[in-house]
Chains A and B, each alone.
Chain A
Amino acid sequence: MSAAAAKATAAVPSIPRDDDGPVFRAPWEAQAFAMALTLHERGVFTWTEWAAALAEEIKRAQAAGDPDTGETYYLHWLATLESLVATKGVTSTETLHRYRDAWDHAADRTPHGQPIVLQAEDFAR
Chain B
Amino acid sequence: MSSDHDHHHHHDHSELSETELRVRALESILTEKGYVDPAALDAIIQAFETRIGLHHGARVVAKAWTDPTFKEALLEDGSKAIGTLGHVSRVGDHLVVVENTPERHNMVVCTLCSCYPWEMLGLPPVWYKAAPYRSRAVKDPRGVLADFGVTVPKDTEIRVWDSTAETRFLVLPMRPEGTEGWSEAQLAELVTRDSMIGTGFAKTPEAPS
Contact = CB atoms under 8 A, between A and B. Distances in A.
The yes or no verdict on A and B being binding partners is yes
Interface of A: 1-2, 5, 20-35, 37-39, 42, 44, 71-72, 75, 78, 81-82, 85, 90-91, 95-97, 99-100, 102-104, 107-116, 118
A44 B33 CA distance: 13
A31 B45 contact: yes
A97 B24 CA distance: 11
B148 interface: no
Contact of B44 (A2, A27, A28, A114): A2
Top 7 A-B pairs ranked by shortest CB distance? A99-B25, A34-B44, A100-B25, A110-B14, A24-B52, A113-B111, A107-B14
A92 to B, nearest CB: 10
B20 interface: yes
13 contacts: A2-B44, A5-B48, A22-B51, A24-B51, A24-B53, A25-B54, A30-B44, A82-B22, A90-B35, A99-B25, A102-B25, A112-B12, A113-B111
Interface residues of B, number: 46
B23 interface: yes
A91 B29 contact: yes
A118 B16 CA distance: 13
A104 B10 CA distance: 14
Nearest to A28: B23
Given A90-B33, A107-B16, A115 B23 contact: no
Nearest to B54: A25
B36 interface: yes
A3 B117 CA distance: 30
Interface in B1-34: 1, 4, 11-16, 19-30, 33
B67 to A, nearest CB: 27
Interface string B109-130: 1011100001000011000010
Nearest to A92: B29
B175 interface: no
| Among B26, B40, B123, B134: residue with most chain A CB under 10 A | B26
A41 B45 CA distance: 16
A24 B48 contact: yes
B207 interface: no
A106 B145 CA distance: 32
A32 to B, nearest CB: 6
B36 A38 contact: yes
A113 B27 contact: no
A85 B51 CA distance: 27
A72 B2 CA distance: 10
B19 A75 contact: yes
Given A24-B48, A30-B45, A71-B1, 4 more contacts: A28-B19, A38-B30, A112-B12, A115-B129
